[in-house]
Amino acid sequence: MEKIVITGGSGFIATNMIEYFLDKGYYVYSLTKFTQASFAKERLTALEKSNKRFKNYWVDLTDYIKTTNILNEINPEQIIHLAAEADVSQSYDYPTAFMHTNLMGTYNLLEWIRNYSLNTRMLYFSTDEVVAEPSHAVKEDEPLNPKNPYSASKAATEMYIKAWNNAFDTKVQIIRLSNNYGPYQGTNRLIAKIILRALTNTPFELFKGTSFHKRHWLYVEDTCRATELIIRKGNPTGIYNVTSKDAYTVEEVKDIILGLLHKEKLFKGWGEVRYKDDITYQLDGSKLYKLGWKQKYSFKEGIKKTIAWYKAHTYMFPKEGIETGYHITSSKYKV
C-alpha cells in the first residue's frame, strides 16, 4: 500500500484529506505544526491510537534538517502539500511570515525530493487567488496576477515548482483551488462562522463590499476526490484547476445557511469593508473534467452535510472563538 505524506495535517482541508486516504487504505503520515489554523490536534491523536496506518509528526517545514530526517524515515511515494499560512487579512500584517512559511517550507520539500528521492511525487495546493479579479474563467496556462502578500507567496512558490520540475526533473503537480467548506473549518471562515453562530444563537455581522460578488464553493470531499484522481491520472508536472459549478454571493450563502437553521434574525447587517478585498476569482475546470472528475455534492447538499457535522462537533470550538469569529483570542479578524 502506498505511503502518502500530507503536510499541514492539523488544518481544515488536510484533516479531511487524511481521513479520506485512510479510508482508501493508504498509509498516511502527517507533517504539521500547531497554528491558528489548527483544529484537529485531538483528532490526530485519536487517529494515531486507532489506526496503525497513520502517524503524525509535529514539525515546522522551514526546519530543513528535521523535515529531511522525517521524510528519510518515511520514504513516501507521494507528498500532498497543504501546509501554508492562508489568512489573507493576516498577510497584510505579517507578510514576512507568509513568504517564509509558504515559500521556504515548499522549497525544503523540493530540495528533499531533489537530493534524496526523485521518484517521490508531490502535489502542491495553490489558490485561485494567484489569478485575482479576472474578467473570465482562467485556464491553467494563463499569467498569474497576485494582489496581496498571501497570493504573492503562493504564486512565487508555483514559479519555484515549475523551475525545479524543469531543472531537476522533479515531479510536482499544482492544484489551484476555489473556496472550500466542510468539517474542521475554522471560525474565521465564512461558512463555519455562520453555522456556528447560528447553532449557538450568537448574533453577527459580515464584511460588506465584495459580499455581493459571486464566488465558487466546493465541498471538501470533492476536493479529496479530485486530489486522488490528479495523483493517479494527471500529468506528473501538470497544473489543475479544482472548482465547482456553484457560484453564490456571501449574502446568498448567509441566506441559505440561516434559512436551513431558521436563524435569520441573528444576522445584524453589513459592517466594515475588508481591506483591499479582491472582487472575484474564476477558474476554468474543464481540464480536470477531462480526467474524469465530476462534482459529487451540490452546494446545498454539501451545506447540509457541513451543518450536521458542526452540530455534532460544536464542543470543539471555544465559545470565545465563535463570538469573535476567530478561534484563538483575537477579535481583529472577521469573516
Residue boundaries of the structural domains of the chain: 3-180+219-242, 187-215+245-280+297-324
- 3-180+219-242 belongs to which CATH class? alpha beta
Helices (H) and strands (E) counted in the chain, each on its own, are: 13, 12
Query: For this structure, is 27 an active site residue?
Result: no
| Whether the Cβ atoms of residue 299 and residue 252 lie closer than 8 Å to each other | no
pLDDT in tens for each of the 335 residues of the chain? 699 999 999 889 999 999 999 999 999 999 998 765 456 677 888 899 999 999 999 999 999 999 999 999 999 999 999 999 888 878 888 999 999 999 999 999 999 999 999 999 999 999 998 987 777 888 999 999 998 999 999 999 999 999 999 999 999 999 999 999 999 998 888 999 999 999 999 998 887 665 567 889 999 999 999 999 999 999 999 999 999 999 999 899 999 999 999 999 999 888 776 666 666 678 999 999 999 999 999 999 999 999 999 999 887 777 766 766 654 333 332 33
Is the Cα dihedral 253, 259, 263, 267 positive or negative?
positive
| Whether the Cβ atoms of residue 14 and residue 6 lie closer than 8 Å to each other | yes
Query: For this structure, is 150 an active site residue?
Result: yes
Catalytic residue among 150, 219, 240, 326: 150
Quickly name the fold that domain 187-215+245-280+297-324 has: UDP-galactose 4-epimerase; domain 1 (3.90.25)
Query: For this structure, is 246 an active site residue?
Result: no
Helices 190-199 and 299-313: angle between axes, nearest 10 degrees: 50
Catalytic residue among 85, 87, 128, 221: 128
| Whether the Cβ atoms of residue 30 and residue 70 lie closer than 8 Å to each other | no
Catalytic residue among 129, 158, 228, 246: 129
